[in-house]
């Protein structure tokens, strides 16, 4: 697919364009048939492929763990039960090591985040031309299969975590306590007048620190996964550059895929760990 009908730049642009649904400039609603049409749809457009694959992987995660729970036994466990118990114990150890307060929601949230993001990242190991080729046969113009390479998905998850941080910050400390954290540190003084002058400075510093949490969560995951996807696409272009480069590209793809297994796992773990840490900070006063 790389070199038959598309130039290298067109091939890259095609594989990096989402299947977008939104409003056309003429006022009608529909699916974009080009990258330019997708761009014209603006902010309120919906990336159908991101929604489809993220929901599908979420359902697969729930089904797998539900099946393991239904088949659980106190005797010799099966492979699925062993695998799920290993993940649960791993998440439980991570929560116990990073979360010092008491909240029964944190561990299930951490489990969901880790497995769901890992499955999204894992789609990056699917050959870059396989699913777009099949979707092309079905008349679907674009199909990105890695939801975590879409900033809409990563920012959506990060904003969800951020809302929980704000909720528990206010719940545990009260509105006054949360406001005090944003305005009375890091600078303070025993003089009331000086302390009042410090309030806007403290607020700017703490507000930037607060907003940086969801932004860093989203951009870290998106940036690493997008770069990994781009490398797979660039390697795929080599297959149409002759036998020698094609064989070299095959070796590169295998090596990058093996290394990428570490990246997709690490990114899911970092997102989960930072979520636990941010929620722990929300449960304690500075």
Instruction: Please state, in angstroms and as integers, the Cα–Cα distance from residue 269 to each residue in 120, 126, 163, following that order.
Output: 13, 21, 20
- Catalytic entry in 18, 94, 169, 224: 224
Q: 46: which strand partners?
A: 21
Mean pLDDT of 212-228: 94
> Rounded to whole angstroms, how far apart are CA atoms 213 and 278?
8
Q: Which of the two residues, 157 and 285, has the higher pLDDT score?
A: 157
pLDDT band at 63 (very low <50, low <70, confident <90, very high): very high
Mean pLDDT of 215-234: 93
User: Residue 82 catalytic?
Assistant: no
Segment 230-283, tens digit of pLDDT = 999 989 888 877 788 888 888 888 899 999 999 999 999 999 999 999 999 998
What pLDDT, on a 0 to 100 scale, did the predictor assign at position 38? 86
> Rounded to whole angstroms, how far apart are CA atoms 224 and 121?
10
What pLDDT, on a 0 to 100 scale, did the predictor assign at position 286? 64
Share of the chain above pLDDT 90, in %: 51
- Catalytic entry in 34, 98, 220, 240: 220
User: Residue 96 catalytic?
Assistant: no
- Catalytic entry in 188, 189, 191, 216: 216
Identify the residue whose tokens are 């760990």: 273
What pLDDT, on a 0 to 100 scale, did the predictor assign at position 106? 94
User: Residue 216 catalytic?
Assistant: yes
Q: What is the chain's mean pLDDT, rounded?
A: 89
Segment 18-60, tens digit of pLDDT = 999 998 888 889 998 888 888 888 888 999 999 999 999 999 9
DSSP secondary structure string, the chain? Answer: -TTTSS-HHHHHHHHT---EEEE-TTS-EEE-SSHHHHHHT-TT-EEHHHHHHHHHHHHHHHHHHHHHHHT--SSS--HHHHHHHHHHHHHHHHHHHH--S--TTHHHHHHHHHHHHHHHHHGGGS-TTHHHHHHHHTT-S-----GGGSHHHHHHHHHHHHHHHHHHHHHHHHHHHHHHHHHS-S---SSHHHHHHHHHHHHHHHHHHHHHHHHHHHHHHHHHHHHHHHHHHHHHHGGGS-HHHHHHHHHHHHHHHHHHHHHHHHHHHHHHHHHHHHHHHHTS--
Mean pLDDT of 114-139: 90
Estimate the crossing angle of helix 192-237 against helix 8-15, to 10 degrees: 130
């Amino acid at each position: 697919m790389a070199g038959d009908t598309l130039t290298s730049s067109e091939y890259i642009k095609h594989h990096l364009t989402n299947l977008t649904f939104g409003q056309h400039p003429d006022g009608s609603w529909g699916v974009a048939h080009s990258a330019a049409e997708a761009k014209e749809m603006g902010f309120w457009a919906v990336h159908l492929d991101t929604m489809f694959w993220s929901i599908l992987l979420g359902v697969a995660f729930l089904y797998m763990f539900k099946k393991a729970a239904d088949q659980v036994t106190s005797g010799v466990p099966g492979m699925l039960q062993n695998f799920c118990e290993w993940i649960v114990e791993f998440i439980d150890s991570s929560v116990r090591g990073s979360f010092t307060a008491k909240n029964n929601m944190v561990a299930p949230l951490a489990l969901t985040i880790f497995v769901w993001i890992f499955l999204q990242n894992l789609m990056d190991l699917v050959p870059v031309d396989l699913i777009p080729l099949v979707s092309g046969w079905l008349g679907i113009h674009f199909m990105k299969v890695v939801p975590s390479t879409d900033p809409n998905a990563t920012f959506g998850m990060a904003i969800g975590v951020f809302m929980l941080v704000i909720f528990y910050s206010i719940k545990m400390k009260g509105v006054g306590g949360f406001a005090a954290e944003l305005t009375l540190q890091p600078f303070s003084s025993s003089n009331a007048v000086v302390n009042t002058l410090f309030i806007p400075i403290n607020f700017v510093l703490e507000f930037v620190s607060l907003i940086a949490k969801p932004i860093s969560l989203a951009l870290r995951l998106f940036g690493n996964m997008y770069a990994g996807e781009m490398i797979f696409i660039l390697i795929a272009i080599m297959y149409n550059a002759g036998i020698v480069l094609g064989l070299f590209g095959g070796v590169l793809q295998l090596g990058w895929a093996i290394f990428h297994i570490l990246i997709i796992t690490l990114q899911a773990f970092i997102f989960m760990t930072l979520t636990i840490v941010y929620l722990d900070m929300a449960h304690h006063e500075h």
